[in-house]
Every structure is written in structure tokens, then in C-alpha cells.
Amino acid sequence: MVTEKRELLVNRKPMLMTGVSLKPMDGTPDVLLASIFGQEVSLDVTGEEPSGLHLLPDLPGGHFEQEVVSGHTFISTVRGKAPWIHVDVPDGFLFFNVKRIPLEVTIDVMGVAQAEKTGVNLYYDAQGNMQHSKWQWIDVGPEKVFSYTFRLNDALFANRAGYDFRINMGGSKEDVRVVGIRVRKVKET
């Protein structure tokens, strides 16, 4: 039996999974064709940096507000409106992760007022289906920043809805105030 290795070519339109074939959809935005070098990309709050993570506020179930406090920009969920913040990873950094490069997603959030009442987890595009990480309670300390890292060994990042992962805060008693998000490729040792 002969096995043939094929490299996927990036089209000017996002490639979306349809069974086993890749087919661009009409009306979708152009993909950043240039490769993004380095092992990490981080949140671009302004949405102007093409090599940064971008938030997608208009997807169903997703809603957030921007706040500026003491010169720092926060992204806040809005309890009662929507439980998710949708995040798109630039295709030039990672798209259709067929090599199964392990990833770490780190979320920096402001602490909360009450213990074990507010938390987050990730829903992400993975091989065969949407997966989710375990739940992480946010530590107490409304003036402190806490970092939580989620390791994703099976992330595919080729979701047809346009986002690669979403931060879920469903059922939390307080809004989640996100200070930063980073996605890092993990080097296997």
C-alpha cells in the first residue's frame, strides 16, 4: 500500500470543512495569507492587528462589552445577555491543525468578589466535534489579575461558524472581565 503525503494549500477564502472536502463559501472574508512566525499570538482588543486574536461579537450566543479602567482595556461578558466570547485565531498562525500541534490557551481575568460562584471553560473546534475543557473557578480578588491555562491536544481550529474557540461563563454569578488571551504552540520534548 502506497501512502501519499499532501500539503493543504491556503485559498484566498477561508476553507470550511464539508465532510472530507474543503470548500470556500461565497461572501466570506479574505484569509491572511502571510504566515505568522513565532510560537504565540495574543488578543488584539482594537481588531486592527492582523496577526492578533480577534473577537467575534456578532455570533449567536456571543456578547461582550469593552471597558477602559485606569488605561487598561477589559473585555467583559454580560450576564443575562450571552454566555460566550467567540475568539478567532489568525489562519496564518494555525488553521486546520492536521499535524495535531498541542496548544495552550491562557486567559488573564480580573478576580471576582465571591469564591466558586464565577468561572470559565473553553469550547473549541476539535477533530470530529466541538470539545470543551474542564471548568475553572476564578479566584477571589477583584483588583488582581489571574491567569488560567488550558491545554488543547486535539484542537483543529477550522470551525465553519468562523470562530476557533469560545470562552464560556454560563451560569456564573458575576461578569467575567478578560484582560488578555494568548494561544501558544507547545513544543514537544
pLDDT tens digit sequence for 45-56 = 666 676 788 888
Q: What is the mean pLDDT of residues 150-164?
A: 86
pTM: 0.77
The C-alpha atoms of residue 64 and residue 37 are separated, in whole angstroms, by 29
Least trusted range by pLDDT, from 3-7, 33-37, 69-73: 3-7
Topology of domain 36-185, CATH: Jelly Rolls (2.60.120)
Domain boundaries, the chain: 36-185
Spatial CA neighbour of 172 closest among 101, 102, 115? 115
The C-alpha atoms of residue 108 and residue 31 are separated, in whole angstroms, by 27
Range with top average pLDDT, 4-13, 34-43, 46-55, 82-91:
82-91
What is the predicted pLDDT for the residue at 79?
78
Q: Is the pLDDT of residue 139 over 90?
A: yes
pLDDT tens digit sequence for 77-106 = 887 787 899 999 888 888 888 888 899 999
DSSP string, 107-167: EEEE-BSSTTS-EEEEEEEETTEEEEPPPEEPPB-TTSEEEEEEEESSB----TTS-SEEE
Q: What is the mean pLDDT of residues 142-147?
A: 92
